[in-house]
Chain A
């Protein structure tokens, strides 16, 4: 009789252990109140995301007033991080750019422009967010499409400074990006092929 019990108990423990360790909470002590465990589990998550937003708000304050120029500045900072092969910094700057894109105010443009800008911003935010959580190879993939978005955006908003659209024929069948300077510094290859590319267009 005892051995049968033992045989039964072991798989039960095993199942229970798996379930308890997998949900990472203290249900062992409070089996009668599973709902409150669930809430405990969620609270730290909320705290984390709030902390994250605070950090973003601080960056935002430094970027100014939610216009196209703020987006461009953040884009160039991100580009420079990729030129410097700096994955960590690009993550941070991707998040910053996502915020300034979100703050972008299109109200001064015509209806057609507004709807196009909204579309561009939506797409760009997604890429910026992915950049904020990816390895550098992925960041560069997203940066390619992000660059297209920002270029299309500038075509509508214009720019205070002269920009240079540069082009590297080697990366992913040919990829463009924007730069403040005429000098080619390649964000897709970084130090691996720093000067690969050419100026394709001047944007005033």
Chain B
């Protein structure tokens, strides 16, 4: 019993300890003028969907739920956001050339079609981030149109 107690205390201290390791928060008050929504004429339903399903990892501003402030969840998330923004940052959309925009739009279409995005680990918690069949269709036709107009 004594050993169990000691282990428990050590682990508890460790758990509390890792809470003090700083993480970078992905948060910003301003939306730059290069934002996808600002430079494209995006229908309101699609704007909402992109905000809820994509912008947490693909923009400079994440809406953090409370448990994402707790380690080690925060680390896991920090990594995902870093990777997500490197692939595609909607806030910086207009700084891309037409060639790169076309490339990104093509990837968006493929990944949504194949159900690779949003990530399962994300929709598991954010149920409203999932795409219904109708939503998928609407988004893909919009993105395709945007790609063809480049």
Contacts and interface: CB of A to CB of B under 8 A. Distances in A.
Interface string B1-38: 00011011011111101101100000000000000000
A17 B15 CA distance: 9
Nearest to A10: B8
B17 A119 contact: no
A145 interface: yes
B12 A12 contact: yes
Interface stretch (A21-29, A85-93, A99-107): A21-29
A145 B11 contact: no
Contact of A19 (B71, B97, B106): B71
Interface string A6-22: 00010011011111101
B120 to A, nearest CB: 17
A34 interface: yes
A72 to B, nearest CB: 19
Contacts of B122: none
Contacts of A28: 10-11, 14
Interface residues of B, number: 24
Interface in B37-55: none
Given A15-B15, A34-B20, A123-B99, A23 B72 contact: yes
A32 interface: yes
Given A27-B17, A145-B103, A119 B97 contact: yes
B11 A16 contact: yes
A141 B113 CA distance: 13
A145 B76 contact: no
A122 B103 CA distance: 11
Dominant secondary structure at the B interface: helix
A38 B21 contact: yes
A155 B24 CA distance: 44
A179 to B, nearest CB: 23
A120 interface: yes
B75 interface: yes
A9 B106 contact: no
A15 B7 CA distance: 12
B11 A119 contact: no
A127 B103 contact: yes
B115 to A, nearest CB: 14
Interface string A107-131: 0000000000001101100110000
Contacts of B13: 31-32
Contacts of B106: 145
Contacts of A120: 99
Given A15-B15, A127-B103, A31 B10 contact: yes
B14 A20 contact: yes
A35 interface: yes
Contacts of A22: 72, 76
A16 B15 contact: yes
A31 B97 contact: no
12 contacts: A9-B8, A13-B7, A17-B11, A19-B72, A20-B14, A20-B15, A27-B18, A38-B21, A119-B97, A123-B100, A141-B110, A145-B106
